[in-house]
Structure 1
Amino acid sequence: MEGLRLDGRTAVVTGGAGAIGAAVAGDLTALGARVVVADVDLEGAGRVAAGLARAVPLGVDLAVPESVERFCLAAGDLGLDVDILVHNAGVSIVEPFTESDPAAWELMWRVNLRGPMLMTKLLLPGMLARGWGRLVFVSSDGARAGSGGEGAYAATKAGLFGLAKTLAREAARANVTSNVVCPGPTDTPMLRRVAAAEPGLVEKISRAVPLRRLGTPADVAGLVAYLCTDRAAYITGQTLSVSGGVTMH
C-alpha cells in the first residue's frame, strides 16, 4: 500500500521510555522514520533507542520549561528537522478528587498540558515552513469519558482536545494535521501499579471491555503510526479512542 512509509521523516516521541512510547517509537522506525526517543528517564530512552534503527535518545523534563527549550535546541543542533511530534508523556496520580493534593495538580498540569503546548510552539513553525507535519496527542479515555480517581489527570489530558483541534485549523493550509488518540484500559506498568493495590482489578476491567481484554501498547501505537503517514493526510482535528469498545462515538 502506498503512503504508509515515513522514509526521510524525523519524529519525536515524548515519554518514549514508557510502554506505549516505546511501541510508538518502534512502529515509526519500522515505517522508515528517524525517531528521537524523548524522556525524563534518559537511561530508559537509551535502552529503547538502542533496539531501534535510526533512533536517538534525548532527555527532556516536560515539567520544566527550560528543559523543553534545551531539548528543542539540542534537536536543532543535531540537524533534526522534526516532522512528526507525538506527545505521549503523562503523569497520573489516582485518588478521589476531594482527597487530592493541589500540588499534584500542578505537576500533572505541567507535564500533561503545559509541556506539550510549549514543545509544540517551538517545533511547529518548522513544520509550517516545510509544508508538512504531523501532531499526535496521546490523551486518555478517562479524559474523554471520565474515570473515577482521575479528576485532575483527566482535566489536564482533556486540555489536549482543545489544543489539538485549534492547531488542526491553524496549521491545515501547511499540510500539518493534528489529532488526539485516547487509550482505554491498556496493559502497561502504570496500570499494573494501580492494580497491585486491588487484587482482581485487571480481571474486572477486562470483563467490562466488549472485546474482553485489556489493550496493549501495540494497539495504541498502530493508530498513532497510521495518523503520521500520508494515508491519513485527510484526517485532522479528530479524537479517536483505542478502547476495545468501552467508549463508542
Structure 2
Amino acid sequence: MEVNRAGMAGLGLSGRTAVVTGGAGAIGAAVCADLAALGARVIVADVDERGAEKVAAALGGEPLTVDLAEPASIEEFCARAGPVDIAVHNAGVSILAPFTRGDPDDWELMWRVNLRGPMLLTRLLLPGMAERGWGRLVFVSSDGARAGSGGEGAYAATKAGLFGLAKTLAREAARHNVTSNVVCPGPTDTPMLRRIESAEPGLVARIAKGIPLRRLGTPADVAGLVAYLCTDRAAYITGQILSVSGGITMA
C-alpha cells in the first residue's frame, strides 16, 4: 500500500458550512477554530453578540446572534444562516443547586436552552442536510449527564435528553448520509471553572487528582473530537456517546 505522506484523506471540510452554538464560550471557540482550520465556513452562534464577533474575527468566520431559549430567535437565525452542513450544539446553561432546593424557573431555562433549543434548531436544519445527502450533527452534553453530578440534577437531566435525541436522529437520518453523535466533556479547564475555584481554593487540584490522566481537560481536547466527528473520516460513526474525560468515565 502506498503511504499518503501529504496527510490523511477525508479530514478536510472545504466547502462545508458549520454552525457552532455557544461559539463565544471556551469550548465553542475551540470548536470553531478547529472547524475553520479544516476549511469549513464557520458561523459563530451565540446570545453574546460581542463575544461571537470576537471569535469570528479571529478565525475569519461569521457571527450570528441566537437566543436558544426563544423559538422565534432560532427561526430567524436559520433564515439568516442559509444552508448548513454541520451543526454543533454546544450552547448550554448550568445553574447549580441541590435538587430539592432547585428553582423550577431555573429548570425551565435549562430545559429551553439545553434541550428544546437543539431540538428546534435541528428540526429546521436537518431537512436541508437530508436533501443534499450529507450532514453532521454533534451534541455537546456532559459527563455529569452520564454519571450524575452533585448539584446538577436538572442540568444533567436536560443534557441527558440529548442522548435520546441524538440516537433517534442517527437512525432516522442515516439513509441521508447524516450522522448524529454526542460528545461529553469531563472536568474541563474553562473560565467558568476557574471562577468557581476562586470561591473554593484548591478545587481544580482536587478534581485533577481523581482523573486517571491527572489533569483537567482543555477546550482543545474536546474540540479535537468534535471536529473529527464532522469529517468524512468519521462517516461510519453515528449514534454514539463519547466522553472526553481523561479516563474518569470509562463506559
Query: The TM-score by the shorter chain falls in which range?
Result: over 0.9
Paired with 2:229 and 2:203, the residues of 1 have a C-alpha distance of 32
* Structure 1 position 202, deviation (Å): 0.7
Paired with 1:188 and 1:135, the residues of 2 have a C-alpha distance of 24
**Which of 160, 163, 183 is residue 162 of structure 2 equivalent to?**
160
**Which of 63, 75, 79 is residue 69 of structure 1 equivalent to?**
75
User: Where does residue 126 of structure 2 map in the other structure?
Assistant: 124
Paired with 1:193 and 1:139, the residues of 2 have a C-alpha distance of 21
User: Where does residue 179 of structure 2 map in the other structure?
Assistant: 177
**Structure 2 gaps, min length 5:** 1-7
TM, length-normalised to structure 1 = 0.97
Aligned residue for 1:121, secondary structure, equals helix
Paired with 1:129 and 1:42, the residues of 2 have a C-alpha distance of 31
**Which of 76, 82, 85 is residue 83 of structure 1 equivalent to?**
85
* Structure 1 position 199, deviation (Å): 1.4
User: Where does residue 146 of structure 2 map in the other structure?
Assistant: 144
* Structure 1 position 63, deviation (Å): 0.5
Paired with 1:190 and 1:125, the residues of 2 have a C-alpha distance of 35
* Structure 1 position 162, deviation (Å): 0.1
* Structure 1 position 189, deviation (Å): 1.3
Question: Aligned AA for 1:57?
Answer: P
Question: Aligned AA for 1:162?
Answer: G
Paired with 1:195 and 1:104, the residues of 2 have a C-alpha distance of 22
User: Where does residue 110 of structure 2 map in the other structure?
Assistant: 108
Per-residue deviation, residues 127-168 of structure 1 (Å, max 9, x unmatched): 000000000000000001101110000000000000000000
* Structure 1 position 196, deviation (Å): 2.3
User: Where does residue 194 of structure 1 map in the other structure?
Assistant: 196
User: Where does residue 28 of structure 1 map in the other structure?
Assistant: 35
Aligned-pair identity in percent equals 81
Question: Aligned AA for 1:73?
Answer: A
Paired with 2:227 and 2:164, the residues of 1 have a C-alpha distance of 22
Per-residue deviation, residues 157-198 of structure 1 (Å, max 9, x unmatched): 000000000000000000000000000000011212222221
Aligned residue for 2:128, secondary structure, equals helix
Paired with 2:234 and 2:118, the residues of 1 have a C-alpha distance of 22
Task: Kindly report structure 1 stretches of 4+ aligned residues shifted beyond 6 Å.
Answer: none
Question: Aligned AA for 2:197?
Answer: A
Q: How many residues align?
A: 244
Once superposed, what is the RMSD of the aligned Cα atoms? Answer: 0.6
Paired with 1:211 and 1:135, the residues of 2 have a C-alpha distance of 29
TM, length-normalised to structure 2 = 0.96
Aligned residue for 2:233, secondary structure, equals helix
Aligned residue for 1:94, secondary structure, equals coil
Per-residue deviation, residues 21-52 of structure 1 (Å, max 9, x unmatched): 00000000000000000000011000000001
